[in-house]
Copies of this chain bind each other. A is one copy, B any other.
Amino acid sequence: MAAFTAHTSAATSLYSPAGTAILLRSRSRAYPTTTTIRVSCSKTVVIGVAADSGCGKSTFMRRLTSVLGGGAEPPRGGNPNSNTLVSDTATVICLDDYHSLDRAGRKAKGVTALDPRAHDFDLMYEQVRAIKEGRAVEKPVYNHVTGRLDPPELITPPEILVIKGLHSMYDERVRDLLDLSIYLDISNEVKFAWKVQRDMAERGHSLESIRASIEARKPDFDAYIEPQKQYADAVIEVLPTQLIPGPGDDEGKVLRVKLIMKEGVEHFAPVYLFDEGSTVNWIPCGRKLSCSYPGIRFAYGFGAYFGHEVSVVEMDGQFDKLDELIYVETHLSNLSTKFYGEVAQQMLKHADFPGSNNGTGLFQTIVGLKIRDLYEQIVARR
């Protein structure tokens, strides 16, 4: 935690290298933060989603836009390499677009994409604020294929703006703009297992090279990314299962997932199991519901998370059958569903998404429903 300082206080030293500062200024000029366009929607609800790469941000975005309704696609007629997703209600922007150093620049300076020095937080803040206030912006586009910055794209204020990336909650000014913030926290064991699965099986990398690449990222991850979870209103924490005794082959396959929800957040009522504010352990598999090995276990409780009071719902294990999912949904409260079985319906609709049979999919879906609910509460209040 000591390595982490809020952006505002760290800004001076971080931006002191002359070249970076010039780039920052030139960028601010190149991309005016405001236009004269005013949209009918008076104020945009802003959601921040932070996580390391390969931790399921994109899957979460697909679940979220599905819950919000309407298909999400890149801006029509725009850059085919745009990182933005636009749906009827929501626009998702990727914070990689605020890279102040492109791939070559990062390489030249020996700075990773995790390092705040590679990002233009001033521009990010100004543009997110502009959108929140109802003004369109010309947002930069980082091209993940070329590793360079492409011409900017126009972002008009949507009803819901989701900013997702490595640093969504890094800058205090940006944090203050967020109506809700979510951190996807994948434990080292699971991250390693996922990376092995993807990079070894699909890309032919060696186990050693995967381990080395994780190790190389770790100092910056620990210093700049992970500490953001203290600011999150909701954290989805992914851990190895505890249902299978001892370390085994199932690591990274069977998962224990926690949904940590901050108390007292406006328009965000934490989900609970059976009895709000108590501590519950629940194995739904039994007389009415049969489950295959290793079964499913839920836990619910409360506690402190970085000094904040939180409620925690945990799921260990995975769903084998639809009726298991519906059964579980029936017993969770404060889900913000609009009809009986909506969580199950959402998860079935995207059964091909990673995690649709376990707590990652369940809690991503639930957080999506909570975001829709939060948005509707804010709109209703206006």
Nearest CB in chain B: distance from A334 CB, A = 14
Is B275 touching A279 in the complex (CB atoms < 8 A)?
Answer: no
A98 CB-CB contact with B under 8 Å: no
Is B281 touching A276 in the complex (CB atoms < 8 A)?
Answer: no
Is A280 touching B279 in the complex (CB atoms < 8 A)?
Answer: no
Is A288 touching B276 in the complex (CB atoms < 8 A)?
Answer: yes
A283 CB-CB contact with B under 8 Å: yes
Q: Choose one: B279, B281, B284; the contact of A286 (CB below 8 Å).
A: B279
Interchain CA distance A143-B283 in the complex, whole Å: 52
Is A302 touching B274 in the complex (CB atoms < 8 A)?
Answer: no
A285 CB-CB contact with B under 8 Å: yes
A287 CB-CB contact with B under 8 Å: yes
Nearest residue (CB) in B for A278 is: B286
A289 CB-CB contact with B under 8 Å: yes
A331 CB-CB contact with B under 8 Å: yes
Is A280 touching B288 in the complex (CB atoms < 8 A)?
Answer: no
A282 CB-CB contact with B under 8 Å: yes
Nearest CB in chain B: distance from A314 CB, A = 13
A277 CB-CB contact with B under 8 Å: yes
Is B279 touching A283 in the complex (CB atoms < 8 A)?
Answer: yes
User: How many copies of this chain sit in the oligomeric assembly?
Assistant: 2
Interchain CA distance A277-B287 in the complex, whole Å: 5
Nearest CB in chain B: distance from A285 CB, A = 7
Interchain CA distance A200-B277 in the complex, whole Å: 43
Is A280 touching B278 in the complex (CB atoms < 8 A)?
Answer: no
Interchain CA distance A193-B279 in the complex, whole Å: 31
Nearest CB in chain B: distance from A94 CB, A = 38
Residues of B contacting A302 in the complex (Cβ-Cβ under 8 angstroms): 286-287
Nearest CB in chain B: distance from A90 CB, A = 33
Interchain CA distance A334-B284 in the complex, whole Å: 19
Is A277 touching B281 in the complex (CB atoms < 8 A)?
Answer: no
Nearest residue (CB) in B for A295 is: B279
Interface string of A265-281 (1 = CB under 8 A from B): 00000000011111111
Nearest CB in chain B: distance from A152 CB, A = 48
Interchain CA distance A281-B278 in the complex, whole Å: 11
Contacts A278-B287, A281-B281 given; 16 further ones with Cβ under 8 A? Answer: A274-B274, A274-B275, A274-B331, A275-B331, A276-B287, A277-B289, A278-B282, A278-B283, A278-B289, A279-B281, A279-B282, A280-B280, A280-B282, A281-B282, A286-B302, A287-B302
A-B contacts, 25 listed (Cβ < 8 Å): A274-B275, A274-B280, A274-B282, A274-B331, A275-B284, A275-B331, A276-B287, A276-B288, A277-B286, A277-B288, A277-B289, A278-B282, A278-B286, A278-B287, A279-B282, A279-B283, A279-B286, A280-B280, A280-B281, A280-B282, A280-B283, A281-B281, A281-B282, A286-B301, A286-B302
